[in-house]
C-alpha cells in the first residue's frame, strides 16, 4: 500500500491564551496543499520501520510514524507490518509534515487491517500523537481551535487559484516561537471565511513578527511574493515556510527555496 501524506498551510494563526496544561489555545484555518511525503506499508513477519529522504534528527524518542503504529498495536492488537517513510516535506517548517505522516499511518493501518474505524475515532487517536495530527484525518479545510485538535470544517474554495510555497531552510523551534508571543483572546478569527480581498489584512499569523525579526529573509520573501502579484502572502504555522496565493499562474519566480508552485488543490 502506497500513501501520500500531504502538507498544510495556515491561513492566519492567532494565539489566544496559555492554558493550565501548558499548551496554548489557538485559532487558525488549516488548508491541505499538494506537497507530499510517501509512506509504503507492506506485509512482514515482524514490525520494521525505515526512513529515507530528508534526515529526521532523533531526540531519542520514537518518531511519529512509529508512535502511530505502536498506538494502533496497543489499542487494537494489530499484526506486524513493514513501514517505509520517504521524507520530502521539510521538517520544522510550519507545513505539518510529521503530523501528516502520523495521521496517514493511522488511516493506512485502519485500511490494511480492515478495522473499520470512523473518522471521529481516528481523529481522537491522532490527537494523542500531536495537536496538528487530527487535521490530516479528514484532510479538508478547517478552523482549528483548542490546541489545534478541535476542528470545524470550513468552505474555503481555492479552485482556480494558484499557490507558491517557499522554504528558506531555516529550522524554527515551535517552543521558542510560542515563548515569544503575548496571547490575546480578542484576536479571534471566527467561523466564517472572509472575502479573498480581505485575507491579507485579516488573516494574521502571530508568529510572523517575532520569527521574521529573527530571520528577516522570511519577511523579504513574503514581500517579494506580494510584489509578484500575490493577493495573500504570509508565513505558515510557526515557520519558516511562507506562501503566496495568486489569482493567475505566477511566472518567473526567482526567490530561492521554492518548494511548489501550481494549483492549490490536492492531486490525489
Looking at the domain covering 2-153, what would its CATH class be?
A: alpha beta
Place of cell 500500500: 1
Residue 77 sits at φ, ψ, to 5 deg, of: 55, 45
Q: How far apart are CA 74 and CA 24, in angstroms?
A: 29
Q: Is 102 left (phi over 0), alpha (psi -120 to 50) or beta?
A: alpha
Answer with the residue of higher pLDDT: 58 or 248: 248
- Name which of 8-22, 62-76, 144-158, 164-178 the model is least confident about: 164-178
What CATH code is assigned to 162-263? 3.30.70.890
Which residue among the candidates 37, 101, 107, 132 is catalytic per the annotation? 132
Could you confirm whether 8 is annotated as catalytic?
yes
Which residue among the candidates 8, 37, 107, 206 is catalytic per the annotation? 8
pLDDT in tens, 59-86: 778 899 999 999 999 999 999 999 999 9
Q: Which residue blocks in 31-158 are alpha helix, DSSP H?
A: 64-76, 97-112, 119-127, 135-138
Residues 6+ apart with CB under 8 A from 265: 34, 158, 159
- Name which of 143-157, 169-183, 226-240 the model is least confident about: 169-183
Residue range(s) in the chain whose domain bears CATH number 3.30.70.890: 162-263
CB environment 96-130: b (16+ within 10 A), e (fewer)? bbbbbbbbbbbbbbbebeeeebeeeebbebbbebb
Residue range(s) in the chain whose domain bears CATH number 3.30.230.10: 2-153
pLDDT in tens, 210-227: 999 999 999 999 999 999
Q: How far is CA 64 from CA 37, 54, 141, 259, in A?
A: 13, 15, 22, 23
- Give this prediction's pTM: 0.95
* Closest CA relative to residue 188, chosen from 147, 148, 149, 145: 145
Mean pLDDT of all residues in the chain? 94
Please give the average per-residue pLDDT across 193-200, as a whole number: 95
User: What does the DSSP assignment read for 12-51?
Assistant: EEEEEEE-TTS-EEEEEEEEEEEEE-EEEEE--SS-EEEE
* pLDDT on residue 175: 75
* Residues facing residue 145 across a β-bridge: 150
Could you confirm whether 132 is annotated as catalytic?
yes
Q: How far apart are CA 77 and CA 55, in angstroms?
A: 30
Q: Which helix (H) or strand (E) holds 164?
A: strand 162-166
- Name which of 45-59, 102-116, 131-145, 165-179 the model is least confident about: 165-179
* pLDDT on residue 268: 55
Q: Is 159 exposed, middle or buried (0-12, 13-18, 19+ CB in 10 A)?
A: exposed
Angle between helix 119-127 and 97-112 (nearest 10)? 130
Please give the average per-residue pLDDT across 235-244, as a whole number: 94
Amino acid at each position: 500500500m502506497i500513501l501520500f501524506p500531504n502538507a498544510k498551510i495556515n491561513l492566519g494563526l492567532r494565539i489566544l491564551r496559555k492554558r493550565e496544561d501548558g499548551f496554548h489555545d489557538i485559532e487558525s484555518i488549516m488548508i491541505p496543499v499538494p506537497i507530499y511525503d510517501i509512506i509504503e506499508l507492506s506485509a512482514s513477519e515482524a514490525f520494521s520501520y525505515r526512513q529515507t529522504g530528508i534526515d529526521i534528527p532523533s531526540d531519542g524518542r520514537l518518531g511519529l510514524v512509529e508512535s502511530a503504529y505502536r498506538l494502533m498495536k496497543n489499542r487494537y492488537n494489530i499484526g506486524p507490518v513493514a513501514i517505509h517513510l520517504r521524507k520530502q516535506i521539510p521538517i520544522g517548517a510550519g507545513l505539518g509534515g510529521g503530523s501528516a505522516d502520523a495521521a496517514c499511518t493511522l488511516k493506512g493501518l485502519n485500511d490494511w487491517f480492515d478495522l473499520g474505524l470512523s473518522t471521529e475515532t481516528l481523529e481522537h487517536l491522532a490527537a494523542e500523537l500531536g495537536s496538528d495530527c487530527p487535521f490530516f484525518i479528514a484532510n479538508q479545510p478547517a478552523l482549528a481551535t483548542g490546541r489545534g485538535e478541535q476542528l470545524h470544517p470550513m468552505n474555503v474554495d481555492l479552485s482556480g487559484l494558484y499557490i507558491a510555497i517557499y522554504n528558506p531552510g531555516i529550522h524554527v523551534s515551535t517552543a521558542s516561537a510560542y515563548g515569544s508571543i503575548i496571547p490575546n483572546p480578542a484576536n479571534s478569527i471566527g467561523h466564517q471565511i472572509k472575502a479573498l480581498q480581505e485575507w491579507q489584512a485579516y488573516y494574521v499569523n502571530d508568529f510572523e513578527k517575532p520569527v521574521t525579526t529573527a530571520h528577516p529573509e522570511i519577511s523579504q520573501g513574503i514581500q517579494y511574493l506580494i510584489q509578484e502579484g500575490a493577493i495573500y502572502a504570509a508565513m505558515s504555522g510557526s515557520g519558516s515556510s511562507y506562501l503566496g496565493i495568486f489569482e493567475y499562474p505566477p511566472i518567473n519566480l526567482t526567490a530561492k527555496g521554492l518548494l511548489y508552485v501550481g494549483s492549490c488543490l490536492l492531486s490525489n
